[in-house]
Structure 1
Amino acid sequence: MRASRLVSLLLLLQTRGRMTAQELADRLEVSVRTIYRDVESLHTAGIPLYGDAGPKGGYQLLDGYRTRLTGLTTDEAESLFLAGLPGPAAELGLGAVVTAAQLKLMAALPIELRDRAGRIQERFHLDAPTWYRDPQPVTHLPAVADAVWNERVVEVRYRRWKAPQEVDRRLEPYGLVVKAGLWYLVARSGDQVRTYRVSQILSLHPLPERFTRPGDFDLAAYWQAYLAEFEARLRWGEAVVRLSPQGMRLLANLMTPGVVAAAKETAQPPDDEGWTRVTVPIESIEHAAGEFLRIGTDVEVLAPAELRERVAATAAELTRRYG
Structure 2
Amino acid sequence: MRASRLVTLLLLLQNRGRMTAQELAEELEVSVRTVYRDVEALGAAGVPLYGAAGHAGGYRLVDGYRSRLTGLTAGEAQAAFLAALPDAAAELGLGEALTTAQLKLRAALPAELREHAGRIQDRFLLDAHGWYGDADRTPHLTAVAAAVWERRAVLLRYRRWRAPEEIERRVEPYGLVLKAGRWYLVADGPSGIRTYRVDQILGLRPLEAFTAPDGFDLAAYWHTYLAGFGARLHTGEALVRLTAEGARRAGLAPTSDGWTQARIPIESIEHAHGEFLRLGTDVEVLAPAELRERVTATVRALAARYEH
Q: TM-score, normalised by structure 1?
A: 0.70
Q: 1:204 to 1:164 in 2, by over 3 A?
A: same
Corresponding residue of 2:212 = 213
Deviation at 1:213, TM superposition (A): 0.3
Instruction: Determine which of 270, 282, 285 is the counterpart of 1:286.
Output: 270
Aligned residues of 2:235 and 2:268 also touching (Cα < 8 A): yes
Q: 1:193 to 1:234 in 2, by over 3 A?
A: same
What SS is found at the alignment partner of 2:82?
coil
Aligned-pair identity in percent equals 62
Q: How does 1:81-230 map to 2 (within 5 A)?
A: 81-190=81-190, 192-207=192-207, 209-230=208-229
Corresponding residue of 2:16 = none
Corresponding residue of 1:30 = none
In structure 2, distance between residues paired with 1:139 and 1:70: 41
What SS is found at the alignment partner of 2:72?
coil
Deviation at 1:179, TM superposition (A): 1.0
Q: For 1:61-106, what per-residue CA distance to the aligned partner results, in whole angstroms no more than 9, with x for missing partners? A: xxxxxx9533322x33223322221111111100111111111111
Q: 1:108 to 1:68 in 2, by over 3 A?
A: closer
Q: For 1:262-320, what per-residue CA distance to the aligned partner results, in whole angstroms no more than 9, with x for missing partners? A: x56xx7x443xx21111110011111121111111111111112112222221111111
Q: For 1:3-57, what per-residue CA distance to the aligned partner results, in whole angstroms no more than 9, with x for missing partners? A: xxxxxxxxxxxxxxxxxxxxxxxxxxxxxxxxxxxxxxxxxxxxxxxxxxxxxxx
What SS is found at the alignment partner of 1:70?
coil
Q: 1:191 to 1:167 in 2, by over 3 A?
A: closer
In structure 1, distance between residues paired with 2:191 and 2:249: 45
Equivalent residue letter for 1:155: L
Corresponding residue of 1:72 = 73
Deviation at 1:247, TM superposition (A): 1.2
Corresponding residue of 1:235 = 234
Q: For 1:144-174, what per-residue CA distance to the aligned partner results, in whole angstroms no more than 9, with x for missing partners? A: 1121122111112111111111111111111
Aligned residues of 1:158 and 1:167 also touching (Cα < 8 A): yes
Q: For 1:115-148, what per-residue CA distance to the aligned partner results, in whole angstroms no more than 9, with x for missing partners? A: 2322222222211011212122222222211211
Corresponding residue of 1:316 = 300
Structure 1's consecutive aligned runs of 4 or more residues displaced over 3 angstroms after TM superposition are: none
In structure 1, distance between residues paired with 2:286 and 2:76: 53
Q: How does 1:45-60 map to 2 (within 5 A)?
A: none
Corresponding residue of 1:29 = none
Deviation at 1:109, TM superposition (A): 2.0
Q: 1:158 to 1:222 in 2, by over 3 A?
A: same
What SS is found at the alignment partner of 1:137?
coil
In structure 1, distance between residues paired with 2:246 and 2:110: 54
Deviation at 1:250, TM superposition (A): 1.4
RMSD: 1.9
Equivalent residue letter for 2:302: L
Structure 2, unaligned runs of 5 or more: 1-67
Corresponding residue of 1:39 = none
What SS is found at the alignment partner of 1:104?
helix
